[in-house]
Amino acid sequence: MAYRNTKTGFGLIARVLHWGMALGIFALFALGYWMRTLTYTSPYYQSAPDLHHSVGMVMFALLVFRLIWKLGNVEPDTSDLTRVEHIGAALMHWAFYAVLFVMMVAGYFILTLDGRSFGIFDLIDVPSLYSQKGLEKLAGQIHWILAYLTMALALLHAGAALWHHFIKKDRTLISMIQGPND
């Protein structure tokens, strides 16, 4: 079992990061969507946001690790892609990194622009690195818009993977599920 990527597919680490982050991001979106319906009298009014913030910070750490891992690994061979597919795939992947990074930073600022810190699973306190009261609402709007943009990108990404699998009949999806072919 290959832990690192090879020319014929993604290694175990890249695949675990891909699918784990996909699951985490969809769960965070669902949790965030549900949290917006909570009222002050809800028993989850405090615990749901605490969970969202904590898992969001774990996702941020994984995003940074994933980017480092991506830059330190070979990319599976994409010579069977057309120029347009190659450019589209590169744009999609880098758009994901950029949108997720800015969305997560905006989430951090929602919590800390007033100068307060917050906890991750009540284990670690994350300090406020910058404070400017009054910008929390803007940070929240950015976070909300980018969360929906992330879901749109995920649908496009999944659609492209399915197109590669069922229409083009190449190994793109298989290499992210099964790994290298060697």
* pLDDT for res 1: 81
pLDDT of residue 89: 94
Listed as ranges, residues in the chain with pLDDT below 70 are: 182
Rounded to whole angstroms, how far apart are CA atoms 64 and 97?
9
- CATH tag, 12-177: 1.20.950.20
**Within 10 A of 16 (CB to CB), how many other CB atoms are there?**
14
pLDDT in the model for residue 181: 80
What sign does the dihedral 43-44-45-50 (CA atoms) show? positive
What pTM, to 2 d.p., does this model score?
Answer: 0.94
